[in-house]
Amino acid sequence: MLDLPENFGDTTFFAEAGGYVFAENTDFTHANFQTAVSRQFESATTVSAIYRFVPDRLLGFNMVEQEFGDAIEGNESLTSHIWSIHVEQELTAWLAMHVLGRYGLRDYDGVFKHRSTDLWTLGAHFAIELTADTELFLGYHFEVGNARNQRSIALNDDASYQTHYASIEIETKLSEKIKLAVDFDFEKNCYTTMNRLDEHFDNPEEIFLGGIELRYALSKESLVTLGLEHGNRQKRNEFIGFHNNNLWLGISHNF
């Protein structure tokens, strides 16, 4: 993190590189990059502009049956570009609000290129100080994604959607250097295609995520995290959902 001289005001630049390494299914390993600039005002308001880039992320093997001809099948991967604006405001001594808007591009590769999507998001978060050592975080996002290739309709594979996302997290301070966070997230993806031949038609997807994370402060600049997350994803037409468990160990350092 780099602070500019005083004549620039309270302006901060931030850059971060990270990623996920999969021990068993190594093809799913991917990186992500983020950069941001933020400005803090005397009114306890912070405005930030953030860009996030995730290149060549593999989602897995996928197949889409066709009414006529061969099915579309192969590995599904994408590259994401997300630009967002964030406004954070302290409302009271124990309550803070964070609103955001973002625009993004999801560019799919290969045989699933027709799924490439433009997206828009609006969201709001609240941080509530319950005690001197415990905070409660609540959040909600609404997102719209539109497939930009008309071939998605002809191929009966229109992934255009509307998403409702809600989250709750409790963070508590266990000691001077250790914090514990427990969170629960719910996401519902409602596909907007009106094509009855499309498998997305009237087939919403629900995702449940629950996680726990320990955060250990090595210093003011360095943080170690250890976390465990369980997820469940299921569409209306599926008898059995997809379950996923993630365990991670990470370290971050601000320069």
pLDDT digits (tens, 9 = 90+) for 96-147: 999 999 999 999 988 888 889 999 999 999 999 999 999 999 999 999 999 8
pLDDT of 243 over the 90 cut? no
| Average pLDDT over every residue of 36-47 | 90
| Confidence band for 7, pLDDT divided at 50, 70 and 90 | very low
> What domains are there in the chain, each with its CATH number?
2-253 (2.40.160.40)
Classify 9 in phi/psi space as left (phi over 0), alpha (psi -120 to 50) or beta.
Answer: left
Calpha distance 165→179 (Å, rounded): 25
Q: Calculate the average pLDDT of the chain.
A: 89
pLDDT of 2 over the 70 cut? no
Residue range 56-97, pLDDT digits in tens: 998 888 877 776 667 778 888 999 999 999 999 999 999 999
| Confidence band for 155, pLDDT divided at 50, 70 and 90 | confident
pLDDT for 24 equals 77
pLDDT for 69 equals 65
pLDDT of 170 over the 50 cut? yes
Percent of the chain's residues with pLDDT above 70 = 95
Of the candidates 207, 193, 205, 208, the one whose C-alpha atom is nearest the C-alpha of residue 238 is 205
The answer to whether 184 and 209 are in contact (CB under 8 A) is: yes
